Structure 1
Amino acid sequence: MSTPLTHDQLLHAYQVMRTIRAFEERLHVEFATGEIPGFVHLYAGEEASAAGVMAHLGDDDCIASNHRGHGHCIAKGVDVYGMMAEIYGKKTGVCQGKGGSMHIADIEKGMLGANGIVGAGAPLVVGAALAARLKGTDSVA
């Protein structure tokens, strides 16, 4: 039997979902201007899955994502301003503008990276899980 979520947990989940949706709505508008290099795959409509899963993970826990990784990044705690700068290809981006929309990563937050190739994150998280086991930590990947 599951335990009901507290008011604070529900509020946090809602705030994460709203942040993801607002980011994606703004990104949709910005992409339409033609100023963003490359392409973006939006995460709108999938906010609850990221908010729910990431609520149980800490910065020491690792994830990888796919071509629709913005929501995972936001829910994991990656800075939204750094993400937007990254998508624009700016040096102030979380990957110094080299990753773009489909390759955002923030190792300090446990976000090993998004990847445009579906399923390509599996080897990364398997390696992170093995590293956690070898180090004797309770981190998950």
Structure 2
Amino acid sequence: MKTAQNKTEKLTKEKASWMYQKMVEIRKFEDEVHQIFAKGVLPGFVHLYAGEEAVAVGMCAHLNDSDSITSTHRGHGHCIAKGGDLDGMMAELFGKVTGLGKGKGGSMHIADLDKGILGANGIVGGGFPLACGSALTAKYKKQKM
């Protein structure tokens, strides 16, 4: 595997196991959300990440806890792969104040700032300004990214 610094990193059994477990975790979460949405009890709309699990996990496998990410309107997988709180995510989908965004963001704006997940965005390309702002802030504060 190549890291962000273009260094080769050996894929250990432990890392491969973690990656597989995260992919399964994402799929199970998405399957549950799909079933709930199909019953018509979930407010709003959802864009599921099922079938794309390896993309988020492969990316997040190279990140540190201090790294920040943004996502697209299909942000559930990235949030889970980066370590986002599953209960907080589900509460957010239901619009509850216990959700990651206090119930105001919903599925397409899922974020967990404590984990460096700056948020998904329903606008195509909407994550770029978030990422640029985060990078500029880190540079200004002389923080390592």
More deviation, 53-62/122-131: 53-62
TM-score by length of 1: 0.94
Alignment partner, residue 121 of structure 1: 127
Does structure 2 conserve the Cα–Cα contact (< 8 Å) formed by 1:59 and 1:108?
no
Normalising by structure 2, we get a TM-score of 0.91
Which of residues 91, 94, 101 in structure 2 aligns to 1:95? 101
Q: What amino acid sits opposite 2:62 in the alignment?
A: H
Q: Which residue of 1 aligns with 2:64?
A: 58
Alpha-carbon displacement from aligned partner over 1:76-133 (angstroms, at most 9, x marks no partner): 1111111011001111111111110001111111111111111101011011111112
| Larger RCO: 1 or 2 (CA < 8 Å, sep 6+) | 1
Alignment of 1:121-140 (within 5 A): 121-139=127-145
Matching of residues 20-59 of structure 1 within 5 Å: 20-59=26-65
Please say if residues 94 and 105 of structure 1, whose CA atoms lie closer than 8 Å, have aligned partners that are also in contact: yes
The number of equivalent residue pairs is 139
Paired-residue identity, %: 60
Give, in whole Å, the separation in 2 of the partners of 1:95 and 1:22: 22
Runs of 4+ in 1 over 6 A off after TM superposition: none
Indicate the SS of the match to 1:38: coil
| Structure 2: distance between partners of 1:59 and 1:129 | 15
Note the aligned Cα RMSD (angstroms).
Answer: 1.2
Stretches of structure 2 that go unaligned for 5 or more consecutive residues are 3-7
CA apart distance, 1:71:
0.1
In structure 2, the partner of 1:77 is 83
Unmatched segments (≥5 aa) in structure 1? none
1:58 positional shift: 2.4
Structure 1 window deviating more from structure 2 (118-127 vs 59-68): it is 59-68
Q: CA deviation at 1:4?
A: 3.4
SS, match of residue 132 in structure 2: helix
Q: 3-state SS of the aligned residue for 1:64?
A: coil
Could you say what secondary structure the match of 1:86 adopts?
Answer: helix
